[in-house]
Amino acid sequence: MSGELSPIDKAKFVAAKRAAEFVEDGMRVGLGTGSTAAWLVRCLGEMVREDGLKIRGVPTSTRTAELARDVGIDVISLDEAKWLDLTIDGADEFDGELSLIKGGGGALLQEKIVATASDQMIVIADIGKEVERLGAFPLPLEVIPFGWQTTKALIEETLVSMDVLGRNTTLRMNGDVPYFTDEGNHILDLHLNRIGNARQLSLVMNQIPGVVENGLFLDVCDKVVVGYGDGRVEIRDINAGTVEIDRLDFLEDDNLFTDLMD
């Protein structure tokens, strides 16, 4: 039930619920990965089942694909879709320019490909994800397993000349073994604390041999839908320069909550 949700989960839910209203019949929609994106998939699934919404979803990870199929969304590949009308995804951090850090869920490569193959990208997040400057959240880099320790050393050496506060780099683990992405790669998390020049850092990191992609999403996001624990929602449009305030009410018998709590 909705009363059992924590304030942060309520914030994620209202952001996802409000963002789902941007999805129209017949759209090809990129479906993000992570806890907030999972709320979105649930909301869209309810719209498919209850309202007859017809969309085709392109998931950014195997777990999102499984959830989308479970809730009744027609899942296709990006190659089948070729181009998307809209992608909705979460973020680990976003700033006032709607620059993002993504990849905490381990799907940054597919997420970036899908987002850049869309007419529009909307980010959904709770208010706790907003920062004045990116970098408090570790920046993920997807790297190939071959020679990853050499790649790590090159990254740390390169960071010496970058405008960052920290240079500690760690291999993401899954228990006692290295984490593998859907593409069979590893993730190195860069604990930078503060990123002074995100554009320069993104460009330089992607030039290092072994690095597949980084988790900085720059000039990709068009809108951010920010949720609060009391049901308030802000829709910030970077292109129009507008901020819209809305509020969503919670219903104790909401089918979506009931499904989630099962």
Query: What phi, psi does 256 have (nearest 5°)?
Result: -65, -45
Per-residue model confidence (pLDDT) at position 256: 59
Per-residue model confidence (pLDDT) at position 3: 53
Question: Mean pLDDT, consecutive 10-residue segments, the chain of 262 residues?
Answer: 77 98 98 97 98 98 98 98 98 98 98 98 98 98 98 98 97 98 98 98 98 98 97 97 90 54 42
- For residue 182, tell me if it sits in a domain: yes
Per-residue model confidence (pLDDT) at position 252: 46
CATH number of the domain encompassing residue 51: 3.40.50.1360
Q: Which two tokens stand for residue 85?
A: 């009308």
Q: Which two tokens stand for residue 84?
A: 């998307």
CA-CA distances (angstroms) from residue 257 to 174, 227, 250, 253, 254?
Answer: 30, 17, 10, 8, 6
Let me know whether 207 and 81 are in one domain: no
- For residue 191, tell me if it sits in a domain: yes
Let me know whether 150 and 45 are in one domain: no
Torsion sign across C-alpha atoms 97, 138, 211, 59: negative
Can you tell me which residue has the tokens 């392109």? 58
Q: Which two tokens stand for residue 240?
A: 């129009």
Let me know whether 90 and 28 are in one domain: yes
- For residue 162, tell me if it sits in a domain: yes
Let me know whether 206 and 237 are in one domain: no
- For residue 170, tell me if it sits in a domain: yes
Let me know whether 97 and 169 are in one domain: no
- For residue 192, tell me if it sits in a domain: yes
Let me know whether 122 and 15 are in one domain: yes
97 is an active site residue: no
| Structural domain span for residue 198 | 139-215
Per-residue model confidence (pLDDT) at position 2: 46
- Does 45 belong to an annotated binding site? no
Residue 173: partners with Cβ closer than 8 Å, 6 or more residues away: 179
Q: Which two tokens stand for residue 205?
A: 């990191």
- Does 92 belong to an annotated binding site? yes
Let me know whether 57 and 155 are in one domain: no
Let me know whether 102 and 44 are in one domain: yes
- Does 90 belong to an annotated binding site? yes
Let me know whether 151 and 226 are in one domain: no
Per-residue model confidence (pLDDT) at position 249: 81
Q: How many domains does the chain have?
A: 2
- Of 111, 142, 156, 234, which residue is the catalytic one? 111
- Strand duo 121-126 + 223-227: pairing: parallel
In the three-class reduction of DSSP (H, G, I as helix; E, B as strand; rest coil), residue 112 is classed as helix
- For residue 180, tell me if it sits in a domain: yes
Let me know whether 111 and 12 are in one domain: yes
- Does 36 belong to an annotated binding site? yes
- For residue 112, tell me if it sits in a domain: yes
- Does 222 belong to an annotated binding site? no
Separation of CA 191 from chain center = 19
Let me know whether 176 and 150 are in one domain: yes
CATH number of the domain encompassing residue 156: 3.30.70.260
Can you tell me which residue has the tokens 């990870």? 61
pTM of full prediction above 0.85: yes
Q: How far apart are CA 112 and CA 108, in angstroms?
A: 6
Per-residue model confidence (pLDDT) at position 251: 61
- For residue 133, tell me if it sits in a domain: no
Let me know whether 202 and 253 are in one domain: no
